[in-house]
Structure 1
Amino acid sequence: MLNRLGIGRESDVVTGQHDLDRAAGAALRELRRERGLSQEELAAEADMDQSLLSKVERFGPDPVGWNRFCRIAGVLGKEVELRLRHSTPQGMTEFDLQDERLKEVENLSPAAMSWKRFCKAIGSKGIEAEVLLRPLRTGK
Protein backbone atom coordinates (compact mmCIF):
# COMPACT_ATOMS: atom_id res chain seq x y z
CA MET A 1 0.00 0.00 0.00
CA LEU A 2 1.37 3.43 -0.91
CA ASN A 3 1.61 6.27 1.57
CA ARG A 4 0.73 9.90 0.85
CA LEU A 5 4.11 10.51 -0.74
CA GLY A 6 3.47 7.71 -3.18
CA ILE A 7 6.00 5.28 -1.73
CA GLY A 8 6.30 2.84 1.13
CA ARG A 9 3.60 1.50 3.40
CA GLU A 10 0.51 3.30 4.64
CA SER A 11 1.80 2.68 8.18
CA ASP A 12 4.90 4.82 7.49
CA VAL A 13 3.46 7.80 9.37
CA VAL A 14 5.67 10.86 9.65
CA THR A 15 5.35 13.69 12.13
CA GLY A 16 7.25 16.91 12.52
CA GLN A 17 8.77 19.08 9.81
CA HIS A 18 12.12 17.29 9.98
CA ASP A 19 10.45 13.93 9.28
CA LEU A 20 8.28 15.44 6.53
CA ASP A 21 11.36 16.84 4.80
CA ARG A 22 13.22 13.52 5.04
CA ALA A 23 10.18 11.70 3.63
CA ALA A 24 10.16 14.04 0.63
CA GLY A 25 13.84 13.32 0.00
CA ALA A 26 13.24 9.59 0.35
CA ALA A 27 10.41 9.83 -2.18
CA LEU A 28 12.79 11.43 -4.70
CA ARG A 29 15.37 8.70 -4.06
CA GLU A 30 12.75 5.99 -4.60
CA LEU A 31 11.62 7.61 -7.88
CA ARG A 32 15.22 7.85 -9.08
CA ARG A 33 15.79 4.18 -8.33
CA GLU A 34 12.51 3.16 -10.00
CA ARG A 35 13.70 4.91 -13.16
CA GLY A 36 17.04 3.12 -13.01
CA LEU A 37 19.06 6.33 -12.69
CA SER A 38 22.22 6.72 -10.65
CA GLN A 39 22.67 9.82 -8.52
CA GLU A 40 25.29 10.98 -11.01
CA GLU A 41 22.88 10.66 -13.95
CA LEU A 42 20.03 12.47 -12.19
CA ALA A 43 22.37 15.17 -10.89
CA ALA A 44 23.62 15.80 -14.43
CA GLU A 45 20.05 16.04 -15.78
CA ALA A 46 19.09 18.42 -12.93
CA ASP A 47 22.26 20.49 -13.44
CA MET A 48 23.67 19.96 -9.96
CA ASP A 49 26.49 18.18 -8.18
CA GLN A 50 25.96 14.53 -7.16
CA SER A 51 26.94 15.24 -3.55
CA LEU A 52 24.22 17.90 -3.31
CA LEU A 53 21.65 15.50 -4.76
CA SER A 54 22.69 12.98 -2.12
CA LYS A 55 21.90 15.54 0.58
CA VAL A 56 18.50 16.25 -0.99
CA GLU A 57 17.68 12.55 -0.95
CA ARG A 58 18.57 12.40 2.74
CA PHE A 59 17.23 15.73 4.00
CA GLY A 60 14.56 16.91 1.54
CA PRO A 61 14.28 20.45 0.12
CA ASP A 62 16.50 22.25 2.66
CA PRO A 63 19.93 21.70 1.02
CA VAL A 64 18.85 23.17 -2.33
CA GLY A 65 15.71 25.21 -1.69
CA TRP A 66 12.24 24.90 -3.12
CA ASN A 67 12.90 25.81 -6.76
CA ARG A 68 15.74 23.33 -7.26
CA PHE A 69 13.84 20.63 -5.38
CA CYS A 70 10.97 21.16 -7.84
CA ARG A 71 13.42 20.97 -10.76
CA ILE A 72 14.72 17.58 -9.56
CA ALA A 73 11.15 16.31 -9.24
CA GLY A 74 10.41 17.58 -12.75
CA VAL A 75 13.33 15.63 -14.20
CA LEU A 76 11.74 12.55 -12.59
CA GLY A 77 8.38 13.35 -14.16
CA LYS A 78 6.75 14.74 -11.04
CA GLU A 79 5.47 18.09 -9.88
CA VAL A 80 5.61 19.16 -6.27
CA GLU A 81 2.58 20.06 -4.22
CA LEU A 82 2.82 21.74 -0.84
CA ARG A 83 0.15 20.84 1.69
CA LEU A 84 -0.03 22.81 4.92
CA ARG A 85 -1.24 20.95 7.99
CA HIS A 86 -1.53 21.54 11.71
CA SER A 87 -1.78 19.63 14.94
CA THR A 88 -5.13 18.71 16.48
CA PRO A 89 -5.89 16.50 19.48
CA GLN A 90 -6.53 13.70 16.97
CA GLY A 91 -3.19 14.21 15.19
CA MET A 92 -2.13 16.15 12.12
CA THR A 93 -4.85 17.40 9.82
CA GLU A 94 -5.24 19.59 6.77
CA PHE A 95 -6.51 23.10 7.22
CA ASP A 96 -10.03 24.30 6.96
CA LEU A 97 -9.68 27.12 4.44
CA GLN A 98 -11.28 29.52 6.91
CA ASP A 99 -8.61 28.95 9.57
CA GLU A 100 -7.14 32.27 10.73
CA ARG A 101 -3.60 30.86 10.79
CA LEU A 102 -3.69 30.48 7.02
CA LYS A 103 -4.31 34.20 6.64
CA GLU A 104 -1.21 34.86 8.73
CA VAL A 105 1.03 32.86 6.38
CA GLU A 106 -0.74 33.27 3.02
CA ASN A 107 1.87 35.67 1.67
CA LEU A 108 4.80 33.38 2.50
CA SER A 109 6.30 31.40 -0.35
CA PRO A 110 9.00 28.73 -0.20
CA ALA A 111 10.15 29.97 -3.61
CA ALA A 112 10.82 33.46 -2.23
CA MET A 113 12.95 32.45 0.78
CA SER A 114 15.05 29.57 1.99
CA TRP A 115 13.18 26.37 2.79
CA LYS A 116 14.43 26.51 6.39
CA ARG A 117 13.21 30.09 6.84
CA PHE A 118 9.82 29.23 5.31
CA CYS A 119 9.39 26.24 7.63
CA LYS A 120 10.43 28.28 10.65
CA ALA A 121 7.93 31.02 9.77
CA ILE A 122 5.00 28.66 9.36
CA GLY A 123 6.18 26.53 12.29
CA SER A 124 5.85 29.53 14.59
CA LYS A 125 2.10 29.33 13.81
CA GLY A 126 1.90 25.60 14.52
CA ILE A 127 1.90 24.72 10.82
CA GLU A 128 3.91 22.06 9.01
CA ALA A 129 4.55 21.75 5.26
CA GLU A 130 4.03 18.34 3.72
CA VAL A 131 5.70 17.92 0.32
CA LEU A 132 3.80 15.68 -2.09
CA LEU A 133 5.01 14.43 -5.47
CA ARG A 134 2.40 14.14 -8.19
CA PRO A 135 2.61 13.10 -11.85
CA LEU A 136 3.30 16.05 -14.15
CA ARG A 137 0.15 17.40 -15.68
CA THR A 138 0.13 17.52 -19.41
CA GLY A 139 -2.40 19.83 -20.93
CA LYS A 140 -3.19 21.94 -23.90
Structure 2
Amino acid sequence: MWFLFVGVGLLLLTISGLYVRRRLAQALAQLGVRERTIRIVRWVSAWLLWAYPLLLIVTIFGSIALGRSTIPRYDGRLASMLLGLPFILTVLVVLQSVPWLLAADLAHLVVRRRRGAGPLDVLVHAAEVAPVVG
Protein backbone atom coordinates (compact mmCIF):
# COMPACT_ATOMS: atom_id res chain seq x y z
CA MET A 1 0.00 0.00 0.00
CA TRP A 2 2.81 2.41 0.75
CA PHE A 3 4.10 1.94 -2.82
CA LEU A 4 0.91 3.67 -3.93
CA PHE A 5 1.69 6.68 -1.72
CA VAL A 6 5.27 6.82 -2.97
CA GLY A 7 4.06 6.59 -6.57
CA VAL A 8 1.52 9.39 -6.10
CA GLY A 9 4.17 11.51 -4.39
CA LEU A 10 6.66 10.97 -7.19
CA LEU A 11 3.98 11.72 -9.79
CA LEU A 12 3.08 14.96 -8.01
CA LEU A 13 6.76 15.84 -7.71
CA THR A 14 7.28 15.17 -11.42
CA ILE A 15 4.35 17.32 -12.52
CA SER A 16 5.27 20.14 -10.15
CA GLY A 17 8.95 19.90 -11.05
CA LEU A 18 8.29 20.11 -14.78
CA TYR A 19 6.04 23.13 -14.27
CA VAL A 20 8.55 24.95 -12.06
CA ARG A 21 11.41 24.17 -14.46
CA ARG A 22 9.43 25.63 -17.36
CA ARG A 23 8.47 28.75 -15.42
CA LEU A 24 12.02 29.22 -14.16
CA ALA A 25 13.33 29.02 -17.73
CA GLN A 26 10.74 31.58 -18.85
CA ALA A 27 11.67 33.92 -16.00
CA LEU A 28 15.37 33.65 -16.77
CA ALA A 29 14.71 34.31 -20.46
CA GLN A 30 12.69 37.41 -19.54
CA LEU A 31 15.61 38.64 -17.46
CA GLY A 32 17.93 38.28 -20.46
CA VAL A 33 19.93 35.26 -19.34
CA ARG A 34 21.76 33.39 -22.11
CA GLU A 35 20.21 30.22 -23.52
CA ARG A 36 23.18 28.09 -22.44
CA THR A 37 22.80 29.22 -18.83
CA ILE A 38 19.08 28.47 -18.94
CA ARG A 39 19.81 24.94 -20.18
CA ILE A 40 22.32 24.45 -17.37
CA VAL A 41 19.81 25.64 -14.76
CA ARG A 42 17.15 23.32 -16.17
CA TRP A 43 19.57 20.36 -16.12
CA VAL A 44 20.71 21.06 -12.55
CA SER A 45 17.13 21.40 -11.32
CA ALA A 46 16.22 18.10 -13.00
CA TRP A 47 19.25 16.42 -11.44
CA LEU A 48 18.39 17.74 -7.98
CA LEU A 49 14.76 16.65 -8.26
CA TRP A 50 14.99 13.22 -9.83
CA ALA A 51 18.48 11.78 -9.28
CA TYR A 52 17.93 10.59 -5.70
CA PRO A 53 14.52 8.92 -6.26
CA LEU A 54 15.76 7.33 -9.48
CA LEU A 55 18.88 6.01 -7.72
CA LEU A 56 16.76 4.49 -4.95
CA ILE A 57 14.30 2.90 -7.38
CA VAL A 58 17.13 1.38 -9.42
CA THR A 59 18.77 0.13 -6.21
CA ILE A 60 15.56 -1.50 -4.96
CA PHE A 61 14.77 -3.21 -8.26
CA GLY A 62 18.41 -4.23 -8.69
CA SER A 63 18.45 -5.84 -5.25
CA ILE A 64 15.22 -7.68 -5.99
CA ALA A 65 16.54 -8.85 -9.37
CA LEU A 66 19.78 -10.09 -7.81
CA GLY A 67 17.90 -11.87 -5.03
CA ARG A 68 19.51 -10.01 -2.14
CA SER A 69 17.78 -9.99 1.21
CA THR A 70 18.79 -6.38 1.92
CA ILE A 71 19.34 -3.30 -0.20
CA PRO A 72 22.36 -1.00 -0.04
CA ARG A 73 21.67 1.89 2.30
CA TYR A 74 22.34 5.51 1.47
CA ASP A 75 22.12 6.82 5.02
CA GLY A 76 25.77 7.66 5.67
CA ARG A 77 27.04 11.18 6.21
CA LEU A 78 28.44 11.57 2.69
CA ALA A 79 25.37 10.14 0.95
CA SER A 80 23.08 12.33 3.04
CA MET A 81 25.03 15.46 2.18
CA LEU A 82 25.38 14.66 -1.52
CA LEU A 83 22.00 13.05 -2.24
CA GLY A 84 19.42 13.46 0.48
CA LEU A 85 19.84 17.05 1.58
CA PRO A 86 19.86 18.63 -1.91
CA PHE A 87 16.82 16.54 -2.85
CA ILE A 88 14.86 17.57 0.25
CA LEU A 89 15.72 21.26 -0.17
CA THR A 90 14.80 21.20 -3.87
CA VAL A 91 11.49 19.48 -3.12
CA LEU A 92 10.71 22.11 -0.48
CA VAL A 93 11.43 24.94 -2.93
CA VAL A 94 9.34 23.34 -5.68
CA LEU A 95 6.36 22.52 -3.48
CA GLN A 96 6.36 25.97 -1.87
CA SER A 97 6.64 27.83 -5.18
CA VAL A 98 3.95 25.92 -7.10
CA PRO A 99 0.93 27.53 -5.37
CA TRP A 100 2.37 31.00 -5.95
CA LEU A 101 3.16 30.27 -9.58
CA LEU A 102 -0.34 28.91 -10.15
CA ALA A 103 -1.85 31.99 -8.48
CA ALA A 104 0.27 34.28 -10.67
CA ASP A 105 -0.80 32.37 -13.79
CA LEU A 106 -4.44 32.61 -12.78
CA ALA A 107 -4.11 36.36 -12.13
CA HIS A 108 -2.40 36.76 -15.49
CA LEU A 109 -5.24 34.96 -17.27
CA VAL A 110 -7.91 37.01 -15.49
CA VAL A 111 -6.25 40.35 -16.23
CA ARG A 112 -5.52 39.42 -19.83
CA ARG A 113 -9.12 38.36 -20.50
CA ARG A 114 -10.62 41.43 -18.84
CA ARG A 115 -8.41 44.13 -20.29
CA GLY A 116 -6.45 42.59 -23.13
CA ALA A 117 -2.70 43.11 -23.24
CA GLY A 118 -2.49 46.51 -21.58
CA PRO A 119 -0.33 48.33 -19.02
CA LEU A 120 -1.43 46.03 -16.18
CA ASP A 121 -0.02 43.11 -18.15
CA VAL A 122 3.48 44.39 -17.35
CA LEU A 123 2.71 44.47 -13.61
CA VAL A 124 1.24 40.98 -13.63
CA HIS A 125 4.22 39.69 -15.58
CA ALA A 126 6.57 41.23 -13.00
CA ALA A 127 4.55 39.48 -10.30
CA GLU A 128 5.03 36.20 -12.20
CA VAL A 129 8.80 36.55 -12.31
CA ALA A 130 9.22 37.59 -8.65
CA PRO A 131 8.33 34.26 -6.92
CA VAL A 132 10.60 32.29 -9.22
CA VAL A 133 13.60 34.59 -9.01
CA GLY A 134 13.26 35.86 -5.46
Task: Say yes or no: TM over 0.5.
Answer: no
Judging by fraction of residues, say which structure has more helix.
Answer: 2
TM-score (norm: length of structure 2): 0.26
Q: Which has the larger radius of gyration?
A: 2
